[in-house]
Structure 1
């Protein structure tokens, strides 16, 4: 079941390292500005974008699987279309099982995949969908 209550969202927002799948190099796009906001608020942002070498001063990786296991990813934040979310959730589950580090998958506002959410929850991961991490952070933490 997706996380939606404020107490559980606060605990999710307490994580420190966020891999942002679909992180953008373009200021003004949500997929750039929201990770920049998270970075300004103390999160370690790990950009995942196969078309960039660096975003927000951080090395960008082609896929979640390419993020070195030496980087302890707590949360995977997804800025890709809903139809791509399932594969990303599966990659997060795989990384959680192999590296033991991913705790939560967060699908940004207007991104949903109930079946992928069920798989994430069955694998013991927290799952948030159709919510903006920046909005929830500003509302609950800031």
Structure 2
């Protein structure tokens, strides 16, 4: 993505695939930070579906989301990513963000082919703090 700083300023809605209720886990405290920065968060995790995180009901699947998504922030192991590819293509987020330690070149390539940019192996909270502090 060319101008990440501008994009993060204009983005409003972040879907969180792999959202977690445990405040000690990155899949909780990274989105909690983003919520504090004013983003709307859409938590997704079939294990916690129906619970409430960050003021929103947790969806079981991406296809349940009913609003446009600027950033899809993914907290899933690299080997699980391809199973979500079709859902992500249908969702059409403006950017897919793979958290620290998560990378999958074939997955990223498949999204780029349909015009969805991907950031791999970076923490959205850390980058947000660096760019928008």
Q: Is the pair's TM-score, using the shorter chain for normalization, greater than 0.5?
A: yes
Deviations 1:17-60 (A, max 9, x none): 00000010111110000000000001101000112221122111
Deviations 1:112-135 (A, max 9, x none): 110011111110011101000000
Q: SS of the counterpart of 1:106?
A: strand
| Matches of 1:139 and 1:72, distance apart in 2 | 26
Q: CA deviation at 1:73?
A: 1.1
Q: SS of the counterpart of 2:46?
A: coil
| Matches of 1:107 and 1:85, distance apart in 2 | 10
Which structure 2 residue ranges, 5 or more long, are not aligned? none
| Matches of 1:55 and 1:28, distance apart in 2 | 14
The number of aligned residues is 130
Q: What TM-score, normalized by structure 1, do the two folds share? A: 0.86
User: Among 90, 96, 112, which residue is 2:103 paired with?
Assistant: 112
Which structure 1 residue ranges, 5 or more long, are not aligned? 97-101
* Change in 2 beyond 3 A, CA 1:111/1:38: same
| Matches of 1:60 and 1:12, distance apart in 2 | 25
The answer on whether the counterparts of 2:69 and 2:91 sit within 8 Å (CA) in structure 1 is no
Q: CA deviation at 1:94?
A: 1.8
The answer on whether the counterparts of 1:45 and 1:58 sit within 8 Å (CA) in structure 2 is yes
Deviations 1:63-117 (A, max 9, x none): 111112xx12111100010011222343211222xxxxx1111100000110011
